[in-house]
């Protein structure tokens, strides 16, 4: 896994309210996680599906446009999804940051 | 439409970078828009589908949890979606706010 991703993970892990980080490969397979494996696989499946749909929706509305990131604020957490060609990074943090 | 929503619209409309606001009823039918109708219907269909999926995903991961809002950052815009029992509010703004 590229040094760039390792560097990104280290940076996110030091944020005070981060409760979990997951890195998926382009096929939504978890390749790095700070959470237990069952929850990781559950997040990976649901969030990758939603992210692919969001990315398709964005280009559907405007073919010159592209999804940069997705943030879901829930009662308990904030989930930030950063898709790229080679990885999907998912950061779960306590709200209020 | 409730005074609460009218109030919310007025407030959002005054934000400097807001380029469009759409209010949908619980069935994703546009009931208020500041954008042209074709684009409004297009946004309404795609975003409501994505929002319903995101809301289901959140409760799927944790039944005590709930989607509060969804933010999609794209190359050209930021789309903020605020779902509630009676309305779905979609705000489209230029990034950088």
> Which ipTM did the prediction report?
0.88
A12-22 mean pLDDT: 88
Asked if residue B79 has pLDDT above 70, the reply is yes
State pLDDT tens for residues A33-91: 999 999 999 999 999 999 999 999 999 989 999 999 999 999 999 999 999 988 999 99
Asked if residue A97 has pLDDT above 70, the reply is no
Asked if residue B97 has pLDDT above 90, the reply is no
CB atoms A71 and B76 under 8 Å: no
Beta carbon pairs, A and B, within 8 Å: 76
CB atoms A60 and B46 under 8 Å: yes
B17: phi then psi, degrees, rounded to nearest 5:
-100, 10
Edge-to-edge strands, sheet with A88-93: A30-33, A18-24, A88-93, A78-83, A67-74, B67-74, B78-83, B88-93, B18-24, B30-33
What CATH number belongs to B3-93? 3.30.450.30
């Amino acid at each position: 896994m590229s040094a760039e991703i390792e560097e990104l993970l280290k940076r996110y892990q030091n944020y005070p309210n981060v409760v979990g980080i997951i890195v998926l490969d382009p096929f939504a397979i978890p390749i790095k996680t700070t959470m237990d494996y069952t929850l990781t696989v559950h997040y990976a499946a649901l969030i990758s599906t939603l992210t692919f749909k969001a990315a398709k929706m964005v280009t559907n509305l405007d073919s010159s446009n592209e999804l940069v990131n997705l943030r879901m604020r829930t009662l308990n957490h904030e989930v930030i999804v950063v898709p790229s060609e080679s990885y999907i990074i998912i950061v779960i943090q306590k709200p209020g940051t």
